[in-house]
Structures are given as structure tokens and as C-alpha cells.
Amino acid sequence: MTAAVSAVRKPVTLHRLREMHAQGDKITMLTAYDATFARLVDEAGVDCILVGDSLGMIVQGHSSTIPVTLDEMAYHTRCVARGNRTAWIVGDLPFGSYQESREQALRACVALMQAGAHMVKLEGGGWTAETVHFLTERGVPVCAHLGLTPQSVHALGGYRIQGRDEAGAATLRKHATELAQAGAAMMVLELMPSAVAAQVQADNPGMMTIGIGAGSQTAGQVLVLHDMLNITRGKLPRFVRNFAAEGGSADDAIRRYVAAVKDGSFPDEAVHAY
């Protein structure tokens, strides 16, 4: 998709994303934290931009996402919204902004949506289903997040693959179904066996599952932009593919990512899955 084509692309809506999922068209998502990269990602044809609390590590230099505040998330969401033209924007609710109560979660959603987010994302299952129901009843589109949930990294014992044993897989499937029934329209599945992610999608066919280290059977894929451009320093997870390796500009690399997700060549189960 050229910049000229992207310039006339109709804004991506929740209805359009659901149509894509129903038609088997893979959904593409990348992170962005500022106006410049948001514009680049949008013009390359990415369907969804995630303003992730991963900015705590990528932009701010923290060792986890936990220090990120709601004010900082709103600031970066405003930046992305200014640069974006047509992509669907998902804003992360940071640690401490929704755990206290449903009402606290709603106030946090108001802050992100007034900043330009079209949908909010929150982590975890079980108790979160009630919060998701409360939010969706009030017109807030919600993306859930299961598997490795970075805000719970200390409770999980580090960045570990989730759902490897039968009990863990059953819990993930149970939580996913509860969140879908509560009204979550989308769900990020992070760092889990591809077979478990495939089961989650099969259990909830209307749910748009977005995988990151969860195999190829999800409805779409997401990566951290800096990772797939090979900007991030240090060892990257095996589920990351360096789309800048073939040369060209960052724009070229993002377009290769979009094409690879759409045609099913990324992720490769033999290379990027667990």
C-alpha cells in the first residue's frame, strides 16, 4: 500500500475489523508512541496502532512497564492521534489505573479516549471480566490481554511462557471465554504455546485474537515497532522477526511486516512459535 493509497483509506473502525476477521483477513498491529512513527505506521497500511505501556521500557528506559503513569499514557496517545489518519488506536491502561475499582477503570478510559484512543486494553483474567462488562456497557471498546501480562511480571516470576501445562492452559481458556462473554472485542495473547492460542480462538470464534509469541492461528499479530525494525538493543524474544534485515527504509520494513502477516508467512511456526 503506497502513501497515496493510505491517504484515501477509510478510517479503520471496529465494524471493519470484525468484517476482516469474519472474512479471514489477518489483522495487523504495531506499537507507536509518537506522531512521526504513527504516521509512518498508518501510511504503511497497518490496521491498528497500539500505544503500549511498553513505552516504559522502549522510550523511558525502565526495566518494566510498571512505572508508567496514566498521564504519560494519555500524553503519548495524544501524540499518536495527531500523527495517525486512519488506523484504529488502542491505548494501554497502565498499572494501577484500573485495579482499584470499575469506576477507577472508567475514569482512566475516559482519559485515554479523550486523548484519542478508540479502544482501551487491560491485562489479566478472572476479576477483570466484571470490569470489562462494566466498561463495554458504557460504550468503551475493550481489548483484553492474556498469557504473559507484563504488569504482573513479578507475580509471574519473570517473562515466562504461560499455559504450558494442562492446568495453565485450561485457566487461560476459561479466562478468555469469560472476557469474551463480558464484551471484550479483541484480545492480545502473549507468549503462550500456539496450540493454546489456537484453542482460545476456536473457543471464541467472534473474538479477534492478536498474537505476540502465540503462533499463527490468531486473528492477527502485533509486535513492538522498535523490535521489528531491529532498533531495540539486547537479545530479542524468538517471536520477533527483523523486518529491516532486507534493507530499505523503515517504511519498507513496516510494509513487509504487513504483507507477511496478511499472507500468513509471519509468524513461522517453526521459528517464531512455542
Per the CB < 8 A criterion, the answer to whether 272 and 266 are in contact is yes
**Strand extents, DSSP E, the chain:** 27-31, 48-51, 88-92, 119-121, 142-147, 186-190, 208-212, 220-223
Distance CA 269, CA 153 (A): 25
DSSP code, position 146: E
Catalytic-labelled residue, pool 43, 123, 178, 190: 190
Q: Is 43 a catalytic residue?
A: no
Contacts by 14-18, CB closer than 8 A, 24 or more apart: 14/88, 14/118, 14/119, 14/141, 14/185, 17/47, 17/48, 17/88, 17/185, 17/186, 17/208, 18/185, 18/206, 18/208
| Catalytic (active-site) positions | 190
